[in-house]
A = this chain, B = another copy of it.
Amino acid sequence: MKALVLCSGGIDSTTALGIAIKKFGQENVIGLCMSYGQKHVRELESARAVAKHYGIELISMDLSKIFEYSDSSLLSHSDEEIPKESYAKQLDGAAQDETVSTYVPFRNGLFLSTAASIALSKDCSYIYYGAHKDDAAIAAYPDCSEEFNNAIKTAIWEGSGHQLNIEAPFISKNKADIVKMGLELGVPYELTWSCYEGGDKPCGKCGTCIDRAAAFAANGIPDPAIQ
């Protein structure tokens, strides 16, 4: 049995990778990382460092042309600044069904569909990805919702001729739970990257930096990536 793991270089996907490697063995796991025009290309270096750490094949795909019409603030062609607030704060007062500026249109759907095409070609039976409860709770990220996750799982199962399963091991867990699991597995968090800004070091102020720091604090340790 083989598994393809969506690797962003962050905490969630790196922990999902650790779980898949423990289950299938490093020789049966392939990583997949995506360039999509993101400002934070630094995360791709982290994905490569993590893949090297585990000794797995890492496939890179460039999907940036698909997003060239999007005005998401996450994308390098956007002049809009990434909000320096936690996600929950960005959403204060937002109407239901309203997305935030960091929403990249149907990104998770596109990533999972791309992963499905590659996984089938590579004879994988599983796709692992790091969707979790915190993201699912954010109405402004509709492609993280439970309804979306259930539907895309079915679409990939049916559309692959019952060959391919989606595994989202953190779907009912929060980021602190994920870090707890990862610490037990020896996941190399010192190699990971979460910051949405394009700097050399994490900014410590953007939504992902804030949420990441809180997840390590909940486990009683400082962030191993920050020296």
Contacts and interface: CB of A to CB of B under 8 A. Distances in A.
Interface of A: 61-62, 65-67, 69-71, 97-99, 104-110, 112-114, 116-118, 120-122, 139-140, 142-143, 145, 147-148, 151-152, 154-156, 158-164
A121 B116 CA distance: 23
A162 B97 contact: yes
Contacts of A116: 105-106, 109-110
Given A109-B159, A116-B109, A142-B162, A121 B67 contact: yes
Interface centre among A107, A113, A151, A156 (most CB of B within 10 A): A113
A110 B105 contact: no
Interface of A is mostly: helix
Nearest to A140: B161
Quickly give the copy total for this chain: 2
Nearest to A71: B121
11 contacts: A67-B121, A71-B121, A105-B117, A106-B159, A106-B160, A106-B164, A110-B117, A139-B161, A147-B158, A151-B154, A151-B155
B158 A142 contact: yes
Given A151-B155, A155-B152, A160 B117 contact: no
A137 to B, nearest CB: 14
